[in-house]
Structure 1
Amino acid sequence: MSVTDDAIEAIKQMIVDGELRPGDRLPPEPDLAERLGLSRNSLREAVRALSLIHVLDVRRGDGTYVTSLEPALLMDAMGFVVDFHRDDTVLELLEARRIIEPATTEMAALKMPTADIEGLSALLDSLGERPTVDQLVENDLEFHRRIAAGSGNAMLASLVETLSGRTQRARTWRGLTQEGAVERTLAEHRAIVQALAARQADIARATATVHVAGVEQWLRQALIEPRGAEPR
């Protein structure tokens, strides 16, 4: 492990141990470097690395602070990595969604406030009778974001939002090329809302699985027999 890695680990341990808490300011650079037995250059590299993944916030002329460490903030780094996926790894993203989103939907069936579930129906109604594919995909992203938030687990909600956003082009491609995709998506969304409203956690999980698996299954076939532009 490099000296910079040692510095990163030392700062991380201070946060894990509770010595540094969200919003706390780090000690002055000379003092912290001496305390950790590190060079100031190594400490600067560590601070720079941790600021890139939103663990630290470097405020010019003020100092360096621990961020809020909220899941949504920390998950930005994962989103950055996922953005570099290749076309053939979109399937892996969908596989991850198929594992995570049904469990999140099941949790939402037990915890999501009734008013928020009713809001999902209103969200679907806002599309009208003949939405465009772009309108549907935008609505779809918000639909899944709200359900994930309804799970009551901020980490899962951030993870779902990250994965869902990165499969947007694949879903747009499906909507443009697969006959009946728009109608099928809306029907599956309605079924999920119905299960949530009835507080049927097992059915909510099952309908969410079928919904995400349908996109995955279509994409597998589409990649075997390419049609049109490939998703990213």
Structure 2
Amino acid sequence: MALTDEAIDKIKGMIISGELGPGDRLPKEADLAERLGLSRNSLREAVKALSMIRVLDVRQGDGTYVTSLEPNLLLDALSFVVDFHRDDKVLQFLEVRRILEPAATALAAERMTDAGIAHLQATLDRLGARPSIEALVENDLEFHRQIAAGSENDVLCSLIDGLSGPTTRARIWRGLTQEGAADRTREQHQAIVDAIAARQPEVARSWATVHVAGVEQWLRRAL
């Protein structure tokens, strides 16, 4: 089990057991991490994930609280997890991405202008050392959009752009729950840029396949 998943399970256990109830404030981060036997980083990522689905409410300068846990509060946020855990259509979108994006990346290695490659590298470089999940996913979407445009095939570019939306939520959840997902994404993106810059279409195709397949494989395991 990934460390973040373990942290989520432990906090969830405290809520289910009644140790923490609606409106209760969580202990200080250092105290809770020590008590649960977790690193502070794993605990922090778990809190971030649970706040996104409105189980926890992080109040700057005040602390972290359990929300009211009312169904109407949780329904919208939980639906983004439920709809891809119960509906395998997201996997089908990812399968199509795995077919199309490597082809676009190979074409970009042949056709993207030097200025386009420099812009692609600059997009990747804009990510800080520890980007938020939201910033990472936004950068990921822009990165792949630029590569599709670099293929100079308008039809392929439109198809890939249409596939981005249905898989965004899966990317966010993976980034929140899979240990090392952010670093892995950055490394694979850099390998793709390097292959495009070196005008090596088959190497670029291979790295793009590995990159997209990683999200698909994670989701298959999650399902």
Normalised to the residue count of structure 1, the TM-score between the two structures is 0.59
Give me the whole-angstrom Cα distance separating, in 2, the residues matched to 1:124 and 1:135. Answer: 11
2:202 is the counterpart of 1:202:
yes
State the distance in 1 between where 2:181 and 2:118 align: 24
| Runs of 5+ consecutive residues of structure 1 not aligned to the other structure | 1-83, 224-232
Give the distance between the partners of 2:105 and 2:166, measured in 1 at CA.
19
Alpha-carbon distance in structure 1 between the residues aligned to 2:114 and 2:165: 26
Match of 1:218?
218
**SS of alignment partner, residue 199 of structure 2:** coil
Percent identity of equivalent pairs? 64
Within 5 Å, give how 1:72-87 maps onto structure 2.
Answer: 87=87
Partner SS for 2:97: helix
The residue correspondences of 1:129-148 to structure 2 (distance < 5 A) are: 129-148=129-148
Aligned equivalents of 1:122 and 1:148: distance in 2? 16
**Following superposition, which runs of at least 4 residues in structure 1 exceed 2 angstroms of deviation?**
84-87
- Secondary structure of the corresponding residue to residue 199 of structure 1: coil
Alpha-carbon separation, structure 2, partners of 1:178 and 1:210:
16
- Paired residue secondary structure (1:179): coil
Distance across 2 between alignment mates of 1:133 and 1:196: 26
Letter in 1 for 2:211: H
> 2:111 matched to 1:111?
yes
2:125 partner letter: D
Q: Give the secondary-structure state (helix, strand or coil) at the position aligned to 1:128.
A: coil
Query: What value does the CA root-mean-square deviation take over the aligned residues?
Result: 1.4
1:165 CA drift (Å): 2.2
**1:1-232 correspondence to structure 2 within 5 Å:** 87-223=87-223
Structure of higher CA gyration radius: 1
The count of corresponding residues between Structure 1 and Structure 2 is: 140
With normalisation by structure 2, the TM-score equals: 0.61
